[in-house]
């Protein structure tokens, strides 16, 4: 394994780092109270990765079992207990626990506890996940062909409890 080809060809470096304060307000607050902070979007990283901090309230639901064809997704639990599904079993993820899901890997998450929980979610390469986060609840409520197209456009492939594809 070697390093990739250089992408910066200058001689002296440049001032290009981006700082985000821990005190920044979340970009999204869902009806369930989950707060999502857009730490590093696909636009900011030029598509390299997307990094999001998710703060879930007590008993906050998460997505049902699904997979992605084009992106990997990783979870790093910061606080509380997040239930993580690895395609085979549910595990109680606690502060410091990590789950990597390669493309095609079945996964899900939720907070079953009576306490809040938080985690980092990393997508690679960086896909435009913001619209997905912002519109999934509203689009799911409407259902039908628009919902099916929305899921495909955002590389989300949900499965039924038996493991088969979910029909929108």
Order of strands, edge to edge, in the sheet holding 81-85?
90-94, 81-85, 108-110
pTM: 0.90
Q: What is d(CA 31, CA 35) in angstroms, rounded to the nearest whole number? A: 10
pLDDT tens, position by position, 134-161: 999 899 899 999 999 999 999 999 996 5
pLDDT tens, position by position, 15-29: 999 999 999 999 999
Half-sphere exposure of 117 (CA within 13 A, CB side): 28
Partner residues linked to 165 by β-bridges: 159
List CB contacts of 33: < 8 A, sequence separation 6 or more: 56, 57, 60
Confidence of residue 108 (pLDDT cuts 50, 70, 90): very high
- Taken in order of first residue, the domains within the chain and their CATH numbers are 28-128 (2.60.120.10)
């Amino acid at each position: 394994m070697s390093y990739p080809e250089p992408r910066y060809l200058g001689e002296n470096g440049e001032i290009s780092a981006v700082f985000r304060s821990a005190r920044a307000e979340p970009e999204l607050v869902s009806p369930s109270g989950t707060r999502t902070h857009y730490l590093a979007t696909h636009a900011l990283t030029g598509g390299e990765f997307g990094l999001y901090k998710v703060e879930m309230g007590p008993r906050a639901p998460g997505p049902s079992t699904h997979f992605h064809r084009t992106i990997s997704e990783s979870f790093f639990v910061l606080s509380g207990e997040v239930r993580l599904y690895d395609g085979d079993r549910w595990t109680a993820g606690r502060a410091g626990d990590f789950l990597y899901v390669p493309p095609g890997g079945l996964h899900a998450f939720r907070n079953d506890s009576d306490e809040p929980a938080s985690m980092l979610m990393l997508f690679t390469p960086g896909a435009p996940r913001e619209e997905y986060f912002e519109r999934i609840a509203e689009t799911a409520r409407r259902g039908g062909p628009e919902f099916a197209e929305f899921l495909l456009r955002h590389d989300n492939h949900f499965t039924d409890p038996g493991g088969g594809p979910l029909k929108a």
